[in-house]
Structure 1
């Protein structure tokens, strides 16, 4: 195992030592729990109002549109504005918009079109909030603690989502849709409060008026940086490839489980739980044990693990084998995520972090619905095991083509030299 970086903290150590980061982290965990409730509640509302699976799929598409079309432009503004104020405003805005859904549903006056408008507006808020949160992490924890911080973020998000999805059905069934949506709104307000009570470092910026020409110039600066910084560019491409590969998983897994394995919904649930459990274990390992491992090593391990697991998924003979392979894939993803996020944050100047995060989010989010549509059409003509195996080969081939190129080999050499150097 590579030697840890000097002075790096574990995931729990970061939370203990960086109290302001811990408060924002806790607010984000609560918000992720609410998001999981929200997914089930909104889908249930669509089902109650229309009974249409097409409408459910359309709602998912509407949710991704702002990220795809507004993401790069939002990043420019995030780099101009106070990131603390952006996070607070977006959380409060999402809370108020979500409360309006609860009120209209309780009054029996919620039209279907309103649900699509609310989803679209909330997604716009998220387009601004996510790069703002990503940009403040290096400022709050220090670049030497990025791996541990990103790992503890991933661990908490997976855990909150797991419990949120588990609680959503109980809340909707016992307390009703209104209670679930109100709970989600409250989590946004709590997330905003966590930022209000925290000291968030801000960069010194020259306050320039917002005009079209400077705006486009700053957007171009972000694009030019990504093109020139090959490590960041290749890492973003890899993230897009992984998300392209993972996009069809939710859509094709039920068909694969029933058709190829002869399984019912209970076994399908076990497979997805295996994936989540693996992700929790992987995030804990990265945050506590591999916290000082070089980002390029984590990225290599993670990408190879995801590719292998995906390829094996199409060969499993039974439910428990599928659970084991899904757990292996889940285990690998936090290694790739922590390595990827930390590498991009470490290589990107702080005053361009918003633009780079937004470009990254646009590519990553655009890949998933695109691949789900392509894979769905391909799966009509080709067996799903072959689709899974092909996606696994895609991940492995792209990883081999990019992660062993000169920029990453140089990063690996620098990491080895740093690990072998005597402590100062």
Structure 2
């Protein structure tokens, strides 16, 4: 039996009937479509220009580094001002950056330096943008609708990933990177229109508007550390929330050399594996609400990490595309359910006035750990192979599953966060 603190879970149609969320959902779908085309094209182009897996680690590293530098500031800004307007400004900035890339392509200046520069600029903007949109969700959807809302956003993100992955193979075979960048810029413009129309609708909770976070970066970081210290369960939630994100970054590094050198296939196979991953993630997103209603929530503390670990082991053992496809599906399915369940737990338990700063702390921690792992994996691929890297990733997920089992046992009798602790982080 689930503990009494578990809120009622609304269905998908209930949250989609909210106009603000419908716009949010549409923007996420199209924005991810463009982002995925851009990322996969950059990774493939870099690998073909250099022939080195370490260069792929480099492109991921420069994408992660801005989070380390700017996440503390981003969290405070997101908690200080209207998150819709912050996201609108930043998505327009992204469109302008990509259009500058198109201009440089027309001037025949395409090269490694341009690709790295575009990734750095977009990554800096996305530090602020991603925090603002994730923190915005509890302001446009009530608490009982957060599982369904996060699941729908996850499915829209992965739908965009599937479409983007399918087109990436075709684009890389027949078209130039200039056209890729034009498609990406148009998706940012569409997302900006969605955010603009969202301004017409009131927020579910206006409580944040009465509070103004001060720009005190170090104080905010120490407050996050103290918050985790006084709520040990939040530590477990945070650790398991970070694991799927870290391993997905690593999967971005591993996919290109895995397809090219282990499977000995071209960009179409890369698109197939990524599209199957997205399909698994969509299935996980769409069945999660029904599974929670049937099984309760405690099982999801550990079952997702187990599934991801098994998927990475299948990648390590795969001898061809036929075996890699179910591995990709299982990782996508399990990773989606894990991410949705844990981000919902965080959104429920952390006061909305403190949510941006708390998520920025998690992003900062995730970036430090991921950057270390990405660089280490790049060296491992250079001297060993991608199979060993997948084994390491599976071990990390099985450790996370063990922590999830402990949390599930503890949650039978204890609420996630004491209301008094939660309310003390309102400012």
What TM-score bracket applies, with the shorter chain setting the length? 0.7 to 0.9
TM-score, normalised with respect to structure 1:
0.82
Count of aligned residue pairs for this structure pair: 407
Deviation at 1:269, TM superposition (A): 5.3
CA distance in 2 between partners of 1:217 and 1:323 (Å): 46
Name the counterpart of 2:329. Answer: 327
CA distance in 2, matches of 1:200, 1:294: 32
When the two chains are superposed, the root-mean-square deviation of aligned CA atoms in Å is 3.4
- Does structure 2 retain, via aligned residues, the 8 Å contact 1:12–1:288? no
Is 1:367 aligned to residue 369 of structure 2? yes
Matches within 5 A, 1:205-354: 205-207=210-212, 210=215, 214-252=216-254, 264-265=265-266, 270-287=272-289, 290=292, 294-316=296-318, 319-354=321-356
Q: How far apart, in 1, do the equivalents of 2:213 and 2:79 lie?
A: 12
Question: Per-residue deviation at 1:79?
Answer: 0.8
Where do 5+ consecutive residues of structure 1 fail to align? 416-424
1:204 aligned to 209, 234, 237, which one?
A: 209
Give, in whole Å, the separation in 2 of the partners of 1:392 and 1:56: 21
Match in the other structure for 1:78? 78
Query: What secondary structure sits across from 2:15 in the alignment?
Result: helix
Instruction: Please give the per-residue CA displacement for 1:222-274, whole angstroms capped at 9, x wherever unaligned.
Output: 332233222222122123334444444344456666777x6544666544443
- Pairing of 1:11-410 with structure 2 (within 5 A): 11-16=12-17, 18-42=18-42, 53=52, 57-108=57-108, 113=113, 115-171=115-171, 176-198=176-198, 199=201, 201=203, 202=206, 203-207=208-212, 210=215, 214-252=216-254, 264-265=265-266, 270-287=272-289, 290=292, 294-316=296-318, 319-378=321-380, 385=387, 387-400=389-402, 402-405=403-406, 408-410=408-410
Over 3 Å counting, the alpha-carbon distance change for 1:34 and 1:275 in structure 2 is closer
Query: Deviations 1:256-315 (Å, cap 9, x if unpaired)?
Result: 66777x654466654444333222211221155546865443232211211233334434
- Give SS of 1:8's match: coil
**Are 1:311 and 1:390, in contact at CA under 8 Å, matched by a contact in 2?**
no
Which position in structure 2 is the counterpart of 1:8? 9
Deviation, 1:379, is 5.1
Q: Is the 8 A contact 1:310 1:392 kept in 2?
A: yes
**1:404 alignment partner, SS class:** helix
What CA distance in whole angstroms lies between the structure 2 residues aligned with 1:290 and 1:187? 33
Relative to the length of structure 2, the TM-score reads 0.82
Cα distance in 2, alignment partners of residues 109 and 320 from structure 1: 39
Partners of 1:42 and 1:268 in 2: CA distance:
13
- Tell me how far apart the structure 2 counterparts of residues 113 and 335 of structure 1 sit (CA, whole Å): 37
